[in-house]
Structure 1
């Protein structure tokens, strides 16, 4: 228990006049407002306070009664305001109706905006789909142009005409001079080795280009009107390449030291899916 300094009637050293003791100051109200307020801890801080324990109890009791009265007054004041709330709201029906009408108008405006956004979304989706379709058509058109260009190039190389076209002059041949020089060098090497026949590199390029055209046509669709119209050209080019392969195979088969070149030629037949044609040529040579 905290120790308080006060004089008792039995104390021989006490003065008859207690008014000489310092009058204690009122306890500050802020001391009781701390959320972590603890009564024992607070009382321990009053050890130097010159006040009797009974006076301290009286002071605290009076303070408690004052707080209770303040609380009651506060409740009564709020209760009176609550009771007068109904009368204060009288005559506000028009304002409430104005607010309700405003909210309804705002709701209709929001719905209109949502409807326009949905319409614009459908429109944008349609435009995007149309753009994709146009892009697909452009890609198909490029493939068709490439098919036509490569077919024309093959026709020029094979010296065949198609659809009333005449074969271009040698100065407009798509083969570069370096490729022609390579073919000539290969022919010279083959002849020096005792192997006759045309350049296998030239035949390889013809076969690869022909297969590339066929793959392009297949990617577009064999039922496409343009591809259907080019079938005769593609068949003519393919048959001409097979004739060149047959002639080269006959020449190689009749020569000597031509095994590697023979394997290359048979590989070209396999790429074209014309193995039976190679077997037929070899059988004819064997029967002769």
Structure 2
């Protein structure tokens, strides 16, 4: 803002004569004064152990420098450090390559480590060998166990074979042809049985034949060449022949009955087929 000031006293002054003096002249001179150039960032600031970039930049808030100038300063500092690092590597490159040749001593330490590693390797090989031996033992024991289980199963089948043969022998003695046969009840239940028949019923003969087939298959499962089965072979043959004998008697009886015996004759032929004895059935039918 302009102020009014009186002129010099040695000049006449009119009542309306004033001189305008600007009050902003002093402040303009101060604004035009050059700012102090900031000093370079000290290198030691970057070498502190817990250097934090964000904290360091915040500490430069009172620095009379623009952000772009600060960035330029940091780029120059980074470029200078990279140049120094390159010069340092180049100056020590030859020494670095010859470092392996210049190393001396430590042979005893290296030898101790080598011996320790060899001992460790031998210990590992020994453990592996024991593991392999134990694995072989376990495999052998498993094989022996399987063999024992097989023998136990074979023994169980042998006992079952003997029991079944004994049971069949007892049933064949009861079911043999004769007036004292106990099959009268089963004959009554079979609608195809003949009145006054003295032979076994077709249902009874079918049961006997099925039992014999089961015994024969069990003998095959055990093995026909085993001594136990060879000893049982005679009893098996006797049971088969007895069943065929009863079948023959019943077949002749059904044949003699003519038309009334056709249904039973067909059932009896099926029993012959079950025993794989069709030839014996034909022979019985042709006989008088």
TM-score (norm 1): 0.66
Aligned mates of 2:78, 2:171 — CA distance in 1: 116
Aligned length: 234
Contact 1:24–1:50 under 8 Å retained in 2? no
Superposition deviation, residue 215 in structure 1: 0.9
Q: Aligned pair 1:18/2:34, yes or no?
A: yes
Aligned to 1:63: 77
How many Å separate the matches in 2 of 1:230 and 1:57?
A: 109
Q: Which residue of 2 aligns with 1:205?
A: 207
Match of 2:167 in 1: 153
Equivalent in 235, 242, 245 of residue 244 of structure 2 = 242
- Please give the residue correspondences for 1:154-233 in structure 2 after superposition, counting only pairs within 5 Å: 154-159=168-173, 183-189=183-189, 194-195=194-195, 196=197, 197-233=199-235
Structure 2: tracts of 5 or more residues without a match: 1-27, 47-52, 55-63, 175-181
Distance (Å, rounded) in 1 between the aligned partners of 2:101 and 2:210:
98
| Residues 145 and 56 of structure 1, relative CA distance in 2, 3 Å threshold | closer
Q: Are residues 1:134 and 2:148 paired? A: yes
Which range moves more in the overlay, 198-207 or 66-75? 66-75
Deviation at 1:14, TM superposition (A): 10
Q: After TM superposition, give the deviation of residue 268 of structure 1 in Å.
A: 0.7
2:208–2:243 CA contact under 8 A, matched in 1: yes
Distance in 1 (CA, whole Å) between partners of 2:220 and 2:192 is 42
User: 2:150 & 2:245 partners in 1: Cα distance?
Assistant: 37
Residue-by-residue CA offset, 1:118-152 (whole Å, 9 max, x unaligned): 11122121111111211221221111111111111
Structure 1 residue 186 displacement after superposition: 3.3
Tell whether the 8 Å contact from 1:246 to 1:281 is kept in structure 2 after alignment.
Answer: yes
Q: SS of 1:258's equivalent?
A: helix
Q: How far does residue 237 in structure 1 lie from its aligned partner after superposition? A: 0.9
Whole-Å separation in 1 of the counterparts to 2:79 and 2:229: 106
**Residues of 2 paired with 1:65 and 1:137: CA distance?**
89
* Residue 261 (structure 2) aligned to one of 254, 258, 262: 258
Q: What does 1:36-75 correspond to in 2, within 5 Å?
A: 59=73, 62-64=76-78, 66-68=80-82, 70-72=84-86, 75=89
Instruction: Determine if contact 2:187/2:193 at 8 Å carries over to the other structure.
Output: no
CA 1:52/1:135 → structure 2, altered by over 3 Å: closer, same or farther? closer
Q: Distance in 2 between matches of 1:78 and 1:184?
A: 121
Is residue 2:285 matched to residue 1:271? no
Whose radius of gyration is greater, 1 or 2? Answer: 2
Q: How does 1:97-116 map to 2 (within 5 A)?
A: 97-116=111-130
Q: 1:230 Cα shift?
A: 1.1
The answer to whether the 8 Å contact 1:252/1:262 transfers is yes
Aligned to 1:93: 107
Residue of structure 2 in register with 1:170 after alignment = none
For residues 134 and 60 of structure 1, what CA distance do their matches in structure 2 show? 87
Check 1:126–1:14 CA distance in 2 against 1; reply closer, same or farther (3 A cut).
same
Structure 1 unaligned segments of length 5 or more: list them: 1-11, 32-48, 161-179
Question: Secondary structure of 1:205's partner?
Answer: helix
Q: Which is further off, 193-202 or 232-241?
A: 193-202
Secondary structure in 1 matching 2:260: coil
Decide whether the 8 Å contact of 1:158 with 1:237 is kept in 2: yes
